[in-house]
């Protein structure tokens, strides 16, 4: 497993992240890494710990996703996440949630923060997903988050055997236009949550 704390100890996190699944990503012409998906037992506790280290503040939200297709089976997944930017990378904290064991299987017994996946921003999730499937990597989860006016399509690919880690394609759109949210948005929303005492927004 890759632990987020180990990445934080590295003076040059770019070098460390660039080595993760490097050959596989180069072979399949992946874009640059946008997101570090980190599984934790409790998002709010993890966010507080990282904020004490100067990361964030984290914007924390919970939602129930009705579009969650896992290995061909339609499910409903409820979960909580936290978002912040650290040295150019989107840090996504994820709890195990309810309705799927996808994140739960990565929870560390010592409560360490596990880097479960790398995320990549693309313009067409389905096109990238289908292209990678041709190389023998099946889609693990295909889902969508709707929080008007933002819609986020995503696909987690089962690349563990070939790349050593799960890789995710992400397409976030604001009123139909592709966007890459700057860290200032996450951090401002995180500060607002802390000021109001509402640490997690439910959608």
Q: What is the pLDDT of residues 22-38, one digit of tens each?
A: 999 999 999 999 999 99
Residues with Cβ within 8 Å of 164's Cβ and at least 6 positions away in sequence, in order, are 20, 21, 24
Length of the chain: 203
Distance CA 182, CA 146 (A): 19
- The pairing of strands 139-147 and 177-178 is unpaired
Cα Rg of the chain (Å, integer): 16
Distances in whole angstroms, Cα of residue 138 to Cα of each of 95, 121, 153: 24, 19, 17
Question: Residue 178 has what pLDDT?
Answer: 87
Q: Give the H or E element holding residue 116.
A: strand 114-121
Domains for the chain: give ranges and CATH numbers. 4-17+31-202 (3.10.180.10)
Report whether 122 contacts 170 (CB < 8 A). yes
More confident call, 114 vs 182: 114
Tens digit of each residue's pLDDT (9 = 90 or more) over 143-170: 999 988 899 999 999 999 999 999 999 9
Question: Residue 175 has what pLDDT?
Answer: 87
Distance CA 173, CA 171 (A): 7
Q: Is pLDDT of 182 > 90?
A: no
In angstroms, the first-to-last Cα distance of the chain is 31
């Amino acid at each position: 497993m890759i632990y987020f704390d180990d990445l934080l100890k590295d003076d040059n996190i770019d070098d460390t992240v660039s080595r993760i699944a490097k050959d596989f990503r180069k072979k399949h012409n992946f874009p640059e890494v946008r997101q570090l998906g980190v599984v934790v037992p409790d998002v709010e506790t993890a966010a507080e710990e990282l904020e004490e280290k100067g990361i964030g503040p984290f914007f924390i939200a919970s939602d129930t996703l009705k579009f969650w297709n896992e290995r061909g089976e339609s499910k409903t997944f409820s979960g909580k996440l936290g978002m912040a930017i650290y040295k150019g990378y989107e840090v996504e904290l994820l709890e195990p949630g309810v309705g799927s064991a996808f994140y739960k299987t990565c929870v560390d017994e010592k409560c360490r923060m596990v880097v479960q996946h790398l995320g990549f921003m693309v313009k067409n999730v389905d096109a990238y997903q289908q292209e990678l499937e041709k190389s023998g990597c099946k889609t693990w989860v295909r889902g969508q988050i709707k929080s008007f006016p933002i819609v986020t399509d995503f696909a987690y690919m089962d690349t563990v055997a070939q790349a050593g880690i799960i890789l995710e394609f992400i397409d976030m759109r604001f009123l139909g236009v592709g966007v890459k949210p700057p860290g200032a948005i996450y951090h401002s929303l995180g500060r607002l949550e802390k000021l109001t005492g509402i640490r997690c927004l439910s959608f």
